[in-house]
Each structure stands twice: as structure tokens, then as C-alpha cells.
Chains A and B, each alone.
Chain A
Amino acid sequence: MRLKPRLFILTLAAILSLVSAAAGERGSDGQLKMLYWQAPSILNPFLSGGTKDIHAASLVLEPLARYDEQGGMVPALVVEIPTVENGGVSTDFLSITWRLRDDVVWSDGSPFTAADVAFTAAYCMDPEGGCSAASRFQDVKAVEAVDSHTVRITFKVPMPFPYVPFVGSVSPVIQEKQFEACTGARAPACAEQNFGPVGTGPFKVTEFRPNDIVLYELNDRYRDPNQPAFSSVLLKGGGDAVSAARAVLKTGEFDYAWNLQVEPEILAAMATAGRGEVVSAFGSMVERLVVQLTNPDPALDDKRSTYQDGANPHPFLSDAAVRRALSMAIDREILVAAGYGPAGRVTCSVLPAPAVYASTVNDWCKIQDIAGANKLLDDAGWVRGRDDIRAKDGVRLSILYQTSTNSVRQGTQALIKQMWREIGVETELKNINASVFFGGDPSSPDTYQKFYADIQMYTNSFDGTDPQNYMQGWICDEIPGPENQWLGQNIPRYCDAAYDELARSLSKTAGTEQRAVIAREMNDRLVGHGALIPLVHRGEVAARALSLGGVRHNAWDATVWNIQEWHRLK
């Protein structure tokens, strides 16, 4: 009997909230104020590639299909997702056919057709254009308009996972009419188009000041007559993450702030003000240690950190026992609690999501085991010297550990240094400005590709939900070195014929379940070998005002992917 009134109230509340959501009228909720401390610098995502620019453009430009917060594909500008079953994807995986919605118009009133899609592909595939989404089109042979509302994409090689071009806000559709004079080398000069693209999305740009603000107003030609609820959006940029969090959680000046990598206790303290809440979503980002498997000794000169077909091994990290001991000695729970809080989870896999790909084989690493690590090193012949640092045959376990400059990363470095001290490993820390560390300047010694250190730490992830390209980054051919201008993605210089074989079979296998089996095995080999030491599965953190409804925080696509559904809670 006591349950009943509560149930009644809950039902009533649910009905009321449904009513208020359904009654949401277009443009009835005033202005939405968003804060991006990394400010958008251009609204043409093909000319930038920066996440902030992609988010800012996604209010205006839409892809054919996008990912929801579970990583599932949902149609945006198309009627349905093509599959082999419904005939949209050819059985040889060489083509995919998208059927466009016929009720979509651009915000200037002209109809949205298949020609726009074909034009966008040509725009991005132009070799002189410097398109940042070019890798999405690398296997595309042709994009043709079959009729005004049907697009067929054909591939050079079979694509068991063909949902690459035009899926997700990284590769949206731009208007042919607006951009036809801006292809190839002329693309950068079209400032007007790049600053105010015409789109099909819920908003259109009214004012853009690069790296400062974007002002949007609602697109009254948007396909859903009841959306969006906000009549305008102000997107302000600049400042730092802590003050961005403060403006939403504490002072309530803004409704939404994105990318708040801040120590968890600071966010928790701000959230007690009761104006907003911290939301996080987990995609494929993993903070990891990358182990140098080749010798980075400066004395080697131009052979430093190069693979040399295995003839240049690292003096001590080539020992599997050392790599394993380093991983065992780390208490990942503490790393999460100190630097990430709700935005991080302990992980022992470099491929922790989507769930079907997540492997548990290496989960021994989840629990710190100092005694085990010490025993492993003892058995391998690494004995503690007078200074308590282990050595064998005159080689001391002394590690140079580098990462980019960032307060959370420096905290993690300090914690790991101390944990390794307990197993007799000495660590020297080094941090490098991110614009140098992640830059590809071949003349700089401090880039992560050159890896002139023993251990380095950063986060990597992959676009969308399919890990094929990501996992192929660790094949032998991807090892960076002077001969390929240090452009490879296999940063640890890991080379394993069995792994390469798995990578080849992954690119030929269809079916999520079968692909997942292979991807999991690749992950297990990589982590089991110790070339990569996964630390934290990182989430994307944002803050929203409690009065802001409809936010479905998404790590697989732009977090503002469903901004047309956002509304003010009464």
C-alpha cells in the first residue's frame, strides 16, 4: 500500500515531463549559452579537423548518418541505414547506396540533393585541398548521384565496414552551390564560405569571430517543425578548463561547457553549488604508456629510436619481464582517483569500447602487485644495487618518461615515478609543450613520433565505432623512421608477424561478431607483449546547467549531436 502513492507521483512526473517535452515549441526557449575554452577557429570541418571546429560546425552541417550515445548508427539526412539485408550494401562490399530524405532543404531554401553529396566527396578528395577528413575517402573510388535522392559510393577494395564517408560529424555534407568556386587550392581563400557555411542543421550562423564567439539563430527551414527549442545559440571560446567549469557549475553564467579535463576534486567542489552537473561519456580514448622497444641512446645518432629490422633493441625494455613488471607495479585505481574521477576507468586494454570489442584477457593488471613485480625482476636477474636501483650486466633500470604538458598528466607522472621506485626502477620525468610533442616537425627531437625517451604517455582513440584502422596502426610497416619522415603510427616500434596476419584478416572479415574476435585477439597480443601499457579508459567530460534538458552526452560523435532536442527545463 505504501508503494502506491509514490508510484503514482512517479508516473505523474513522467507524464508531465513527456508533455512538456512534446509541447516544446520551435524557438520558445530563448538563448542557449555554451562555453568552449578551446575556441572554434573555422566552421568548415574539412579545413580544420580540430574537434572544437567540428562541434561548432555540427550545429549547421549534418552528415548522412550519425552515432548515438551508445555508438549505434542513426539516420540523419537519409531514410535508413543501408545494410546487406536491405540491399543498400553490395554483397562484395564494394559499394554502398544511401537513399536521401526528400523533405530536407538547405537553410537558404534550395533543395538538398544527391549532387551536394557527390560534390562534397569531390571537394574533400581533391589532392590540393588539404582536406582533414581525406582518410575517410582514401578507399573511395567514386561517389555518384544515381538520381536526385540516391547516392552510390564505390570502393577500391572490399569494405566489410563501409560506413566511413559521410558518417559522423567529421565528414558532413556541404552545399555545392556555396562551395563550387572553393575547390582544391582555392579552398582556404573562401573565408566567407568557411566562416558561414549554409547547412541543413537546426541552426544557422549569424556571426562568427574566429577563436572568440559564434552566434547562431534557429534555421526556420529545419525539417522538424517543433525543433529546435532554442531560438539562438551563443558559443563563447577562450580561457581555461577550470574557469569554464566554474561558469557553468558555480556562477551559472553559461548552460554548457565542453572538455573539462580538471582534477576531479575541483569539479566535485564546484558541483556542490547545485547549479549544474558534470556529465561524462566513454568512447575509445585510452591514456596509455608507450614502451620504447628500440634503443633511444643519443650516441646512436641517426640510428636513435629506429627499428633497423630488430637489430637495435632497447637495452632493458626489450626484456618482457621488465615491461610486465612496470605494468604490474602501477596502481591504476589511484591514477583514476587523482586525475580523472568519474571521467576515467581502470583499463587493461587499448580497445575497451564498444563493448563487443572489450577484452578481459589482460585484466591481471587491474590490481597492483608490487611483490609480484619485484619477484619477476629478481627472477629475471635484475638485482638491486647500492642505490636501490636494479641493474643487470651494467645496465641500470633508469627510465626517461615523457609526456605533454598538462597538470593531470604531470600528476600521473609523479604517481607512477613513485610506484616504480618501489620495484627499484629510477625515473626521470620530462614534459613537452603539446604543440611540439604532437607536432610532426621532422627537425624537432621532442615529437612523440621520434620518441627519444624510454616511456611516453598520451591518449589515443579512433573515429566512429570501427577499430580496423586503429588496430592496423601497430603493424611492422607502420614503424616510424627517417625513411618515412617519421610518419608511421606504430610508435612503440612493435613488430610481430602474427599480429600483421591478424590485421590482414581483419580487413577481409565481415560481421561485427567475427571482426570483434580478431580485434580482441590483436589487443591481447599487443598488451600481453607489453608494447603498450594501458592506464585509464578516459571519458569526455562536460558540464551542463541543471536547467538544460535533452543533453545526451555522446563520445562517439560530436557531444552536441542532438542539439535540436535540447531545451530549457521549466
Chain B
Amino acid sequence: MTDAVSVLGSQHRSLARDVWHQFWRHKGALGGAAVFILIAVAVLFGSMTHGVDPQYLDYKAKNQGMSLAHPMGTDNLGRDMFARVLAGGRLSLAVGVAAMALSLSLGSGVGVLAGFFQRLDGPLMRLTDLFLALPVLPLLLVSIMLFRDPLRSVLGPEVGLFVLIVAVIGITSWMQTARIVRGEVLAVKQREFVLAARSVGTRPHRIIVRHVLPNALSPITVSATLGIAQAIITESALSFLGLGFPSDFPTWGRLLYDGVPFLGLTPARVVWPGLAISLTVLSINYMGDGLRDAMDPRMRRR
């Protein structure tokens, strides 16, 4: 979050400070940020205090409920669920944020260009149609066939797959953002202040950065918050199809999927990963709301 603001801040110091102030006065945003930071700290450093290997199988202690030794119980092979939720969170959050960032930058880039420059509109929107129409599953199969082994040998099994999965999710999910942003840009373009800026000869990239982007920010933040959740869920669907991370690298989506058949037996297996996903998405949502309000030029003036 700080990064996003400081990028803008390098150009307009006062704007950055304004946004910063607004954001921290926003109760929802504050709560959201607190929860998100809590989750992030927990998954990053929790394993230091908990100290159980998420891959260690204690077969005699399988399907256990919550206890002091296993705060979230164990799964059907006797793995500690708390350690797995923590480990899964690291991977899920990383995938979610990275894939969202990729899809958001692709989507808003294409959307802004298509909306602002009429000449690019046709080709870019046909490109969007093309990507929307691509069958995702076969695309995945092909890209995994082509790139899994090379990436694995260059970056190792975990990082290689991470890059591949983030790329695949990002490349197949930017289209909706692009369409929404384009629509918003089309509308903003006709507003008086943009017309005015144009008439005084402001360069297009300045108009985009100063006027169009801030006004298109609210659909972009909504896309971003939905995007993280979608990336986390898409990743779980990938594991389900055997295209995601190997089974010994848990993610939240995968833990949830694996836990569903055990719903009647050990409900803790679905409750915790489900809660983790929901809380994360919820907190990002509130932060997005706060950011949107803070960025809104009209609200800032008040």
C-alpha cells in the first residue's frame, strides 16, 4: 500500500499526503488494514512460534479435533492443520497478490489505451474478446506441458511453478478489468475537465495519469479486491485438476478442497482455510473501499 502511494507521491507530494490522511481516517480501511497485516504477519512469522513441520505426518494422530498440540486439529494423514494453514497462507497470499497485480496492470493498461485512443480501441477490444474466448483448461495443459520442465530446471520446483501459475492466472483474468476500465475511460473522456485539459494542449499521458486514472480508480480497486479472491480460488481449482502446486505444498484453496469430503468428520478442516480466505478478501475489500474514498478528488476536498 505504501508503495502505491509513494509512486504517486513522487509526482504530487500534496496528493499523496492527502490520500494518506484520508485513508487512515477511514474506519473500515483501518480495520481492514489491521486484519490484513495480522494475517500477513501470522503466515509469515507464525511458523516460528508454532514450530511444527506442515509436511510431517503423525499417522497415529489423524483426524483429530482442536487441541493444544494441534490448535486446528489434524488431517486424515495426521498433518497439523495449523501449520498447514500458515504455510498455505504464504503461498496463497503470494499467488493472490502477484496474480492480481499482473492481471490488474494488464487489464487497466489495455482498458485505458483502448478507451483513450480511439484508433487502438478496435484492435485491443478484439484482443480482449479473443482472450475471453480462450478455453482456459486446455491453455493451462499446453502451457504446463511446454513450460513446467524448463522453469523447474531454472528456478526449482516451487518457484518455477509459482511463476507459471501466477502468469497463467494473470493472463487469463485481465479481460473483465480491461472492459470495465475502458467503459469508465470512455465516460470520463467526455467530461468537462478532460475536454478542458485537452483543449489547453496537455499531453495524453499527463491526462491519463492526472485525470483519467484517478477517476477510473474505483472500478479498478473493486477489480483488484475481487481479483485476489479469484486468484486464490483459481489456484485451488488448478490443484484440483493436478495443474497446481504439488500436493506437499499446501495452499488455502487446496486445503479447503481437500477438506470438503471430510465435512461431516472433521469440520475444522474446512472452517479454518475457508475463514482465512474470507477474512483476507474481506480485509482487502475494506482497504479497497478506503483507498477508493481517499483517492476520490471530490471527497478529498471536503
Same complex: yes
Interface residues of A (CB under 8 A from B): 242, 262-263, 265-266, 269-270, 298, 334, 338, 404-405, 407, 410-411, 413-415, 417-418, 428-434, 436, 444-446, 452
Contact yes or no, A413 B157, CB < 8 A: no
Interface check B280, CB cutoff 8 A:
no
Q: What B residues does A242 contact at CB under 8 A?
A: 261
Q: What B residues does A431 contact at CB under 8 A?
A: 242, 246-247
Contact yes or no, B261 A411, CB < 8 A: no
Contact yes or no, B258 A404, CB < 8 A: no
Interface check B237, CB cutoff 8 A:
no
A411-B76, A414-B55 given as contacts; is B261 within 8 A of A445 (CB)?
no
A444 to B141, CA, bound (A): 10
Contact yes or no, A417 B248, CB < 8 A: yes
Cross-interface CB contact of A338 among B77, B145, B262, cutoff 8 Å: B77
Q: Which of B38-46, B56-64, B121-129 contacts A (4 or more CB under 8 A)?
A: B56-64
Smallest CB–CB gap between A207 and chain B, Å?
Answer: 30
Contact yes or no, A404 B242, CB < 8 A: yes
Smallest CB–CB gap between A240 and chain B, Å?
Answer: 9
Contact yes or no, B57 A415, CB < 8 A: yes
Contact yes or no, B77 A411, CB < 8 A: yes
Cross-interface CB contact of A414 among B62, B145, B248, cutoff 8 Å: B248
Contact yes or no, B141 A436, CB < 8 A: yes
Contact yes or no, A263 B261, CB < 8 A: yes
When A and B form their complex, which 5 residue pairs have the shortest distance between CB atoms, in order from nearest? A405-B242, A410-B247, A433-B242, A242-B261, A429-B246
Smallest CB–CB gap between A418 and chain B, Å?
Answer: 5
A429-B246, A434-B242 given as contacts; is B76 within 8 A of A265 (CB)?
yes
A-facing residues in B44-98 (Cβ within 8 Å): 55-57, 59, 62-63, 76-77, 79
Interface residues on B, range: 20 to 34
Q: What B residues does A446 contact at CB under 8 A?
A: 145
A338-B59, A433-B141, A445-B149 given as contacts; is B76 within 8 A of A263 (CB)?
yes
Closest residue of chain B to A412 (Cβ to Cβ) is: B77
Contact yes or no, A266 B59, CB < 8 A: no
A269-B264, A430-B246 given as contacts; is B57 within 8 A of A414 (CB)?
yes
Closest residue of chain A to B248 (Cβ to Cβ) is: A429
Contact yes or no, A265 B63, CB < 8 A: yes
Q: What A residues does B265 contact at CB under 8 A?
A: 265-266, 269
Smallest CB–CB gap between A454 and chain B, Å?
Answer: 14
Interface check B130, CB cutoff 8 A:
no
Contact yes or no, B153 A298, CB < 8 A: yes
Contact yes or no, A414 B77, CB < 8 A: yes
A298 to B152, CA, bound (A): 11
Smallest CB–CB gap between B296 and chain A, Å?
Answer: 46
Closest residue of chain A to B146 (Cβ to Cβ) is: A445
A265-B76, A431-B242, A434-B242 given as contacts; is B247 within 8 A of A334 (CB)?
no
Closest residue of chain A to B246 (Cβ to Cβ) is: A429
Contact yes or no, A428 B242, CB < 8 A: no
Contact yes or no, B55 A338, CB < 8 A: no
Closest residue of chain A to B76 (Cβ to Cβ) is: A263
Contact yes or no, B262 A433, CB < 8 A: no
Smallest CB–CB gap between A127 and chain B, Å?
Answer: 31
Q: What B residues does A407 contact at CB under 8 A?
A: 258, 261
Q: What A residues does B157 contact at CB under 8 A?
A: 428, 430
Closest residue of chain A to B140 (Cβ to Cβ) is: A433
A291 to B241, CA, bound (A): 25
Interface check B243, CB cutoff 8 A:
yes
Closest residue of chain B to A418 (Cβ to Cβ) is: B57
A414 to B56, CA, bound (A): 9
A265-B265, A298-B153, A415-B57 given as contacts; is B145 within 8 A of A445 (CB)?
yes
Q: What B residues does A270 contact at CB under 8 A?
A: 264
For A269, A413, A433, which residue has the most chain B Cβ atoms within 10 angstroms?
Answer: A433
Per-residue 0/1 for B262-297: is the Cβ within 8 Å of any A Cβ (1 yes, 0 no)? 101100000000000000000000000000000000
Q: What B residues does A452 contact at CB under 8 A?
A: 149
Closest residue of chain B to A270 (Cβ to Cβ) is: B264
Q: What B residues does A434 contact at CB under 8 A?
A: 242
A413 to B242, CA, bound (A): 14
Between-chain CB contacts (< 8 Å), 7 pairs? A298-B153, A417-B55, A429-B247, A431-B242, A431-B246, A446-B145, A452-B149
Smallest CB–CB gap between A69 and chain B, Å?
Answer: 29
A338-B59, A418-B57 given as contacts; is B77 within 8 A of A444 (CB)?
no
For B55, B57, B157, which residue has the most chain A Cβ atoms within 10 angstroms?
Answer: B57
Q: What A residues does B264 contact at CB under 8 A?
A: 266, 269-270
Q: What B residues does A410 contact at CB under 8 A?
A: 247
Q: What A residues does B141 contact at CB under 8 A?
A: 433, 436
Closest residue of chain B to A401 (Cβ to Cβ) is: B246
Known contacts A262-B261, A414-B55, then 11 further A-B pairs from the complex at CB < 8 Å, ordered by chain A residue: A263-B76, A265-B76, A266-B261, A298-B149, A411-B77, A414-B247, A415-B57, A429-B247, A431-B247, A436-B141, A436-B145
Contact yes or no, B261 A338, CB < 8 A: no
Smallest CB–CB gap between B255 and chain A, Å?
Answer: 12
A446 to B152, CA, bound (A): 14
Closest residue of chain A to B247 (Cβ to Cβ) is: A410
Smallest CB–CB gap between B193 and chain A, Å?
Answer: 53
Cross-interface CB contact of B243 among A263, A404, A433, A444, cutoff 8 Å: A433
Q: What B residues does A417 contact at CB under 8 A?
A: 55, 248
For B63, B247, B248, which residue has the most chain A Cβ atoms within 10 angstroms?
Answer: B247
A413 to B241, CA, bound (A): 17
Q: What A residues does B246 contact at CB under 8 A?
A: 428-431
Closest residue of chain A to B75 (Cβ to Cβ) is: A411
Smallest CB–CB gap between A226 and chain B, Å?
Answer: 41
A298-B153, A445-B145 given as contacts; is B57 within 8 A of A433 (CB)?
no
A415-B59, A444-B145 given as contacts; is B241 within 8 A of A433 (CB)?
yes
Closest residue of chain B to A437 (Cβ to Cβ) is: B242
Smallest CB–CB gap between A423 and chain B, Å?
Answer: 15
A414-B55, A415-B59, A418-B57 given as contacts; is B242 within 8 A of A432 (CB)?
yes
Closest residue of chain B to A272 (Cβ to Cβ) is: B264
Per-residue 0/1 for B134-150: is the Cβ within 8 Å of any A Cβ (1 yes, 0 no)? 00000001000100010
Contact yes or no, B59 A405, CB < 8 A: no
A269 to B76, CA, bound (A): 13
Smallest CB–CB gap between B197 and chain A, Å?
Answer: 53
A298 to B79, CA, bound (A): 33
Smallest CB–CB gap between A391 and chain B, Å?
Answer: 19
A266-B261, A269-B264 given as contacts; is B56 within 8 A of A418 (CB)?
yes
Q: What A residues does B149 contact at CB under 8 A?
A: 298, 445, 452
Q: What B residues does A411 contact at CB under 8 A?
A: 76-77
For B153, B248, B258, B265, which residue has the most chain A Cβ atoms within 10 angstroms?
Answer: B248
A265-B63, A298-B153 given as contacts; is B76 within 8 A of A338 (CB)?
yes
Q: What B residues does A430 contact at CB under 8 A?
A: 157, 246
Per-residue 0/1 for B180-195: is the Cβ within 8 Å of any A Cβ (1 yes, 0 no)? 0000000000000000
Contact yes or no, B247 A415, CB < 8 A: no
